[in-house]
């Protein structure tokens, strides 16, 4: 929990209070809301629910309820700001640590506490909100990270076939009963897959620029023409040449789907994606935020998934053709608003995690979801094709 908090505060450290309170986009919360929401989620689950204590600020929690308060209105709420916000984070954490002293994680009677589930939930939640914060940080001109790592360079055998084959048959989908996973990843179940081809690597900026040129479709978010027939990236107010060898990022589901059809292919289903990701190594992937961008295709080429695919985890979330639906036998846990409220044909599933995703929340069974028109998320794609 301390490590998660250090990262949250580190990402925000270069920013003035005015920037934390500013609305950069109606589809993203002001950073001060995210920060207060992180602390309030901790208070709700670790202090109030586990510790049976009263909240510090009475009804304050209602302001940080993500379902009750759509992103566009969050800055109009009387949320905590400035020193009061910082004090709330610290006071909640103090009480969390007091409660933790008393807690019995071993008895297994309370499913919330068994295996430390609620603590894992809390950490994953904070990790996911730091990714949301990074979506907004892309819009802040002149943002300079406190700490950053060079993006990993291509290694191993980078050249290979355009697509790799995944055998058909029964595939195990979803997370098993052990360890932390979200409710929407469970229960694990078998699906019958026809054999299919999947791109060995995510679609690159080079591929996507060709699609834009030929179809006159909009470029990805944050691309501007460089005046010389190519493109620059303008995220964080920069002006860097688009690298044709990096995976394309900040495209919508509609754009991803159109690209796949233009290429004579299709998006994979989320089950196909998961089968293709089997054997991918979460420790050999461009994750965890500090590279502040994608790695060129072929980074970790020495660590392919079992079918031979690269970059299944990290760099960009990959759009799938699948709607966000419950797995057979799904049970909401610990609260229906986490996943169940979003099931249906409104949201599309993304898989794999991006450079902006903490390593702790990236895994082959993890299901992310968003609206098909969204581009501020770190989303790209890879294509699939029937094998017969």
Measured CA to CA, the distance from residue 26 to residue 29 in angstroms comes to 7
By CB under 6 A, which span of 114-122, 128-136, 234-242, 258-266 interacts with ligand AVJ? 128-136
By CB under 6 A, which span of 47-55, 125-133, 187-195, 353-361 interacts with ligand AVJ? 125-133
SS3 174: coil
Per CB under 6 A, does 317 bind ligand AVJ?
no
Residue nearest to ligand AVJ (CB): 128
Per CB under 6 A, does 132 bind ligand AVJ?
yes
CA 4 to chain centre: 15
Residue pair 314/355 in contact (Cβ under 8 Å)? The answer is: yes
Nearer to ligand AVJ, 121 or 166 (CB): 121
Closest distance to ligand AVJ from the beta carbon of 194 (Å): 29
Nearer to ligand AVJ, 338 or 343 (CB): 338
Nearest 10 degrees: Cα torsion 195, 200, 206, 210: -10
> Token pair of 28, please?
């993203």
Per CB under 6 A, does 368 bind ligand AVJ?
yes
> Token pair of 107, please?
């008895």
Closest distance to ligand AVJ from the beta carbon of 125 (Å): 6
Nearer to ligand AVJ, 95 or 367 (CB): 367
Work out the number of other CB atoms within 10 angstroms of the CB of residue 83.
Answer: 9
SS3 59: helix
Selected from 81, 86, 125, 266, the binder of ligand AVJ by CB under 6 A is: 125
By CB under 6 A, which span of 45-53, 122-130, 140-148, 218-226 interacts with ligand AVJ? 122-130
Is the N-terminal amide bond of 187 cis, ω within 30° of 0? yes
> Token pair of 20, please?
């934390």
Per CB under 6 A, does 128 bind ligand AVJ?
yes
C-alpha closest to that of 125 among 68, 40, 207, 198: 40
Nearest 10 degrees: Cα torsion 191, 260, 166, 285: -100
Residues of this chain, 35-74, that bind ligand AVJ according to CB under 6 A: 66
Per CB under 6 A, does 365 bind ligand AVJ?
no
Residues of this chain, 322-361, that bind ligand AVJ according to CB under 6 A: 338
Selected from 45, 196, 369, 378, the binder of ligand AVJ by CB under 6 A is: 369
Per CB under 6 A, does 130 bind ligand AVJ?
no
Helix H or strand E segment including 133: helix 117-137
Measured CA to CA, the distance from residue 264 to residue 283 in angstroms comes to 33
Closest distance to ligand AVJ from the beta carbon of 189 (Å): 21
Nearer to ligand AVJ, 262 or 338 (CB): 338
Binding site for ligand AVJ (CB under 6 A): 66, 125, 128-129, 132, 338, 368-369
């Amino acid at each position: 929990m301390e490590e998660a908090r250090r990262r949250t505060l580190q990402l925000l450290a270069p920013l003035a209070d005015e920037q934390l309170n500013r609305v950069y986009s109606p589809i993203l919360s002001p950073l001060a809301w995210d920060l207060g929401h992180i602390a309030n989620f901790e208070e709700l689950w670790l202090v109030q629910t586990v510790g049976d204590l009263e909240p510090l600020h009475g009804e304050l929690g209602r302001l940080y309820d993500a379902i009750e308060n759509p992103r566009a209105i969050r800055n109009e709420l009387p949320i905590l700001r400035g020193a009061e916000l910082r004090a709330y984070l610290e006071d909640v954490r103090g009480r969390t640590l007091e409660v933790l002293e008393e807690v019995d994680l071993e008895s297994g009677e309370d499913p919330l506490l068994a295996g430390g589930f609620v603590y894992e939930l809390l950490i994953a939640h904070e990790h996911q909100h730091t990714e949301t914060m990074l979506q907004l940080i892309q819009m802040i001109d002149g943002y300079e990270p406190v700490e950053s790592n060079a993006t990993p360079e291509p290694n191993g055998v980078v050249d290979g076939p355009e697509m790799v084959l995944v055998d058909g048959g029964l595939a195990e989908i979803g997370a098993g009963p052990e360890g932390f996973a979200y409710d929407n990843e469970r229960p694990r179940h078998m699906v019958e897959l026809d054999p299919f081809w999947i791109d060995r690597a995510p679609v690159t900026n080079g591929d996507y620029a060709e699609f834009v040129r030929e179809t006159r479709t909009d470029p990805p978010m944050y691309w501007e023409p460089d005046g010389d027939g190519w493109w620059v990236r303008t995220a964080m107010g920069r002006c860097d040449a688009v690298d044709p060898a990096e995976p394309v990022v900040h495209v919508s589901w509609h754009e991803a789907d159109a690209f796949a059809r233009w290429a004579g292919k299709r998006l994979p289903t989320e089950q196909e994606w998961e089968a293709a990701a089997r054997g991918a190594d979460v420790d050999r992937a461009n994750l965890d935020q500090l590279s502040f961008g994608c790695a060129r295709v072929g980074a970790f080429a020495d660590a392919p998934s079992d079918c031979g695919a690269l970059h299944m985890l990290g760099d960009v979330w990959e759009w799938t053709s699948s709607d966000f639906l419950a797995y057979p036998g799904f049970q909401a846990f610990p609260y229906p608003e986490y996943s169940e409220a979003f099931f249906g044909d409104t949201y599309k599933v993304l898989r794999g995690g991006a450079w902006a995703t903490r390593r702790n929340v990236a895994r082959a069974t993890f299901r992310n979801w968003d609206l098909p028109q969204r581009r501020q998320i770190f989303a790209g794609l890879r294509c699939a094709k029937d094998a017969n």
